[in-house]
Amino acid sequence: MDRTDCERLDAECKLAGCRARFSLPEGVLYFDGNSLGALPGTTASAIRRTIEDEWGAGLIRSWLDADWFFLARRAGDAIAPLIGASEGEVAVSDSTSVNLFKLAASLLRRGGAGRKVVTEAGNFPTDVYILEGLVDLLDRGHALVRADPARIADEVDEDTALVVLSHVDYRTGALHDMEAIAAHCNALGVPAVWDLCHSAGAVPVELNRWNVDYAVGCTYKFLNAGPGAPAFTYVSRAAIGDYRPAVTGWFSHAEQFRFEDGYRAADSINKCLVGSPPVLSLRAVIDGVATFDGVGMEELAAKSRRLSGLFIELADERLAEHGFALASPRDPARRGSQVSFRHPDAYAVARALIARGLIPDFREPDIVRFGIAPLYVRHVDIWDAVDAIEAVMSDGAWRDFRTDVREAVT
Amino acid sequence: MDRTDCERLDAECKLAGCRARFSLPEGVLYFDGNSLGALPGTTASAIRRTIEDEWGAGLIRSWLDADWFFLARRAGDAIAPLIGASEGEVAVSDSTSVNLFKLAASLLRRGGAGRKVVTEAGNFPTDVYILEGLVDLLDRGHALVRADPARIADEVDEDTALVVLSHVDYRTGALHDMEAIAAHCNALGVPAVWDLCHSAGAVPVELNRWNVDYAVGCTYKFLNAGPGAPAFTYVSRAAIGDYRPAVTGWFSHAEQFRFEDGYRAADSINKCLVGSPPVLSLRAVIDGVATFDGVGMEELAAKSRRLSGLFIELADERLAEHGFALASPRDPARRGSQVSFRHPDAYAVARALIARGLIPDFREPDIVRFGIAPLYVRHVDIWDAVDAIEAVMSDGAWRDFRTDVREAVT
């Protein structure tokens, strides 16, 4: 295997043309599409039209004339096929954290006999913080349990009120068996909320087929919707009838513009909306998700697994001697769309790579994470990344980046 | 008084030049700046740079390099002088509804002996819905009271847990005496949250001087930040220490990127942040607020009162006979930046005016509302608006717009 082989694999790849859907800077090897997806080629002009024609010229009329009112649902319906959901089951609004709060508050309020709120050790911090704060706010004797992610089913029992898990571990890329865990929860009647931030648009997700009722996820990673773009909420058609919103803003009202004194919830996924959506950022979700047009998730995930497999293979050969220990699962069926390594100087190494034009992410305490957005990452990029890492480690220059001041972003 | 007098008043107006800061469509008389502020001339190019240079070329690095992380605070500090707040007391994030939920949840949780949650009859519906949902979620025996807006002080007593009021009534434009009500609440130790959606950037607000501790407000009305742009939260420096967030997302953590297992709140207004902000929409807040550069709020409010006074004067002369009854206070000191009329066919009239290029807003059940954004509305616009209303009413064409299908936006 050499670089020419990678070029050949790219030439043969049916999805290679998707890269042209993005505006990528020259001279950058981008492996952080799972923190911030690349800019689609159509977004800038779409947002310009939204600003100049819809806002500037249309003014208030554009809420109806330019369909701003329906963007939350339109964006949701565009995301639905990427996560195995149906039309009308997904809405886009607010941040992932707020959406998780909304679902968890509603589900804990519904109240069964269960006392435990089960999440997993090492879950993305904001998910755990939100649950911690909610348990404290409700003050009804719930106990937050950080279960071993490999033993979730052992922890979820009759005494469980709610389960909140991330499909893909943000640090290692380990992938839960969502179908099996959902079946276990469903058998016990325990509601489970899945965080799809690191799986939507990167690995196959079949919410309907796996009988999942609740999920949230962000749009700014693999869905390419731009920095901080609003997040999605999924409630299955089976669950939406009994779902009672806890954050009852006017966008979730049955007849928003009747301006009634009393609250009546909508009878649709609009139950999960709250206030006026940030239209510019929400509009960008449409173009972000459109980068998946005509692409099957199975085919895309297969490409992702080939790329991550190649990365692991080359790392075994060339990076192990430089202190890189694989943190991601070797089994491609259990791996999300990333390759992570532990390294004792992970932060300095990540900074040195960025200075060289290879952009991974650093994650506390010792992880260098390479996100693989299979719509635009190529086989040659994997080759060049390993080349770059080897070069940075060999010349020792990375040691100049040792520092105590740690800054990182998701 | 004729149109020439209006032209003269505009020529003499020191703030007349501010209109050039906006990109306004030809042939439109825009009186809905209190639903959606006009497009500032600088916004489109600023957002283009954010998309192409910061997101497209900078990618994930822009969270630090382009200061995306600090936009919530930067936007808040820009708004602060417009509402009489100090640096570090305002943050921009989420929607007004979500921000109200956050403050109210935190304040109700803090819990005194009070049982009543006092708001006002006719308050903007989402504020009441949010409180209704929160009282229900917490399930601690609170009772939501919709007080007569003219008798708030009579209702707020030792049995009150929380007060939530809108500074300006969205329908009539009636303005509360915030200072007096705040003094009453403070004397009883009752926390009060003010909704500034219809006052920020339109009427003088002196949060610090009036000893107000909590407020929320939107940026897409008089602050010109664009459709659904994120809203602001204010917590005074005096109150922030004891403030304990209820929606505990990672952006409110003391050290967000340590990715700690446990939640620790920031010791600043960051306590009011939750998740990743919608950067495109948040970025537009900066340009929206910049349209106030060099403008004193007292001077601007004085212009607003002159314009609304002129509107009322002309309406008395020319519109009363067509069934328009003033719904706004005649006392300019008690009036926000709008003039509202009741009309038995308000919806049809509003639609007929829009078809003619004069854009007011309709509000249930019988209100035609003319928002006056004093940065860009002129005396001649008032004259031309009254002309247009008179013409529409005289020719009877408005009757064609009678319909049961009501659509309106805020």
* Residue B98 contacts A where some CB pair is shorter than 8 Å: yes
How many Cβ contacts (< 8 angstroms) between chains A and B? 290
ipTM score assigned to the predicted complex: 0.97
Give the pLDDT band of residue A410 (cuts 50, 70, 90): very low
User: Which residues of B are known to be catalytic?
Assistant: 124, 195, 220-221, 369
* Residue A355 contacts B where some CB pair is shorter than 8 Å: no
Whether residues B133 and A247 touch (CB distance < 8 A) is answered with: yes
Percent of residues, chain B, with pLDDT higher than 70: 98
Name the residue in chain A with its Cα closest to that of B69. A409
* Residue B408 contacts A where some CB pair is shorter than 8 Å: yes
Whether residues B248 and A364 touch (CB distance < 8 A) is answered with: no
Give the pLDDT band of residue B119 (cuts 50, 70, 90): very high
* Pairwise pLDDT comparison (B258 vs A201), residue with the higher score: A201
Give the pLDDT band of residue A185 (cuts 50, 70, 90): very high
* Residue A94 contacts B where some CB pair is shorter than 8 Å: yes
pLDDT above 90 (res B110): no
pLDDT above 90 (res B165): yes
* Residue A280 contacts B where some CB pair is shorter than 8 Å: yes
Residue B97: how many CB atoms within 10 A of its CB?
Answer: 28
Whether residues B249 and A98 touch (CB distance < 8 A) is answered with: yes
DSSP class of B145: E
* Residue B265 contacts A where some CB pair is shorter than 8 Å: no
Which amino acid appears at position A306 of this protein? R
User: Which residues of A are known to be catalytic?
Assistant: 124, 195, 220-221, 369
- The full length of chain A comes to 410
* Residue B355 contacts A where some CB pair is shorter than 8 Å: no
* Residue B16 contacts A where some CB pair is shorter than 8 Å: no
Which amino acid appears at position A253 of this protein? H
Whether residues B56 and A36 touch (CB distance < 8 A) is answered with: no
**What is the C-alpha separation between B373 and B32, in angstroms, rounded?**
8
| Residues B263 and A132: beta-carbon distance below 8 Å | yes
Chain B hits for A258, Cβ within 8 Å? 364
Whether residues B284 and A279 touch (CB distance < 8 A) is answered with: no
| Residues B207 and B215: beta-carbon distance below 8 Å | yes
pLDDT tens per residue, range A94-117: 999 999 999 999 999 876 679 999
Average pLDDT over residues B388-400: 92
Chain B hits for A95, Cβ within 8 Å? 94, 249, 274-277
Q: Positive or negative, the Cα torsion across B150, B153, B155, B160?
A: positive
This prediction has a pTM of 0.97
- Residues 364-383 of chain A with CB under 8 A from chain B are 364
Chain A hits for B52, Cβ within 8 Å? 23, 39, 44
Which helix (H) or strand (E) segment holds residue A209: the answer is: none
Chain B hits for A406, Cβ within 8 Å? 257
Pair of tokens at residue B309: 């006074």
* Pairwise pLDDT comparison (B364 vs A227), residue with the higher score: A227
Which helix (H) or strand (E) segment holds residue B235: the answer is: strand B232-235
Pair of tokens at residue B123: 């308050």
Q: What mean pLDDT value characterizes chain A?
A: 96
Percent of residues, chain B, with pLDDT higher than 90: 93
| Residues B142 and B112: beta-carbon distance below 8 Å | no
**Residue A3 to residues A6, A139, B350: CA-CA distances in angstroms?**
5, 59, 67
pLDDT above 60 (res B133): yes
Give the pLDDT band of residue A136 (cuts 50, 70, 90): very high
| Residues B376 and B24: beta-carbon distance below 8 Å | yes
Chain A hits for B228, Cβ within 8 Å? 68, 275-279, 282
Quick one: angle between helices B279-290 and B71-79, nearest 10? 30
Whether residues A56 and B23 touch (CB distance < 8 A) is answered with: yes
Chain B hits for A28, Cβ within 8 Å? 59
Chain B hits for A138, Cβ within 8 Å? 137-138
Which helix (H) or strand (E) segment holds residue B155: the answer is: helix B152-155
- DSSP secondary structure of A75-139: HHHHHGGGGT--TTSEEE-S-HHHHHHHHHHHHHHH--S--EEEEETT--HHHHHHHHHHHHHH-
Q: What is the pLDDT of residue A405?
A: 54
Q: Positive or negative, the Cα torsion across B268, B274, B278, B279?
A: positive
pLDDT tens per residue, range A258-287: 889 899 999 999 999 999 999 999 999 999
pLDDT tens per residue, range A305-325: 999 999 999 999 999 999 999
Whether residues B129 and A101 touch (CB distance < 8 A) is answered with: no
Task: For residue B107, give how far its alpha carbon lies from the nearest alpha carbon of chain A (Å).
Answer: 11
Give the pLDDT band of residue B14 (cuts 50, 70, 90): very high
* Residue A186 contacts B where some CB pair is shorter than 8 Å: no
Q: What is the pLDDT of residue B123?
A: 94
